[in-house]
Structure 1
Amino acid sequence: MPMELNVGDIVETRKNHPCGNNRFEIMRTGMDFRIRCLECNKQIWISRPKLEKRIKKIEKNDE
């Protein structure tokens, strides 16, 4: 069963982005995700299975 990930959630990954940051904001959900690095603002497209494997922690966005 897929993880519950929503637009606006902040995820901490096991693997760092080349800029050294490991925190990303989810910008689009679905089969593929668009995530944005919170340090350098680079946007990355990543598949759901790949992202779910890399997530260490999820910070929910309570709007």
Structure 2
Amino acid sequence: MKKIFYIGDIVQMKKGHPCGSNEWEVIRLGADIKIKCCGCSRIVMLPRSKFEKNVKKIIKQNSPDIQEV
């Protein structure tokens, strides 16, 4: 089953970042996915296949269906 990701999602990765955080914000989608560490703001770009394999869970989903008025 394919997971659907959106820009602004907060995901938990299987391996933690050296800064101690394992939460990342998705900031770019495509063949490669760019994520930003929520602990130290470091930006990393991963191939989509590696990203989908290493995501443990979606902590906060930024779905476009939800619109704030």
- After TM superposition, the score normalised by the length of structure 2 is 0.83
- Stretches (4+) displaced over 4 A: none
* Aligned mates of 1:44, 1:24 — CA distance in 2: 10
Whether 2:52 is the aligned partner of 1:52: answer yes
The letter of the residue matching 1:18 is: P
The letter of the residue matching 2:6 is: N
2:34 aligns to what SS in structure 1?
strand
Gaps of 5+ in 1: none
Aligned length in residues: 63
- After TM superposition, the score normalised by the length of structure 1 is 0.90
Gaps of 5+ in 2: none
- 2:24 matched residue in structure 1: 24
Larger radius of gyration: 2
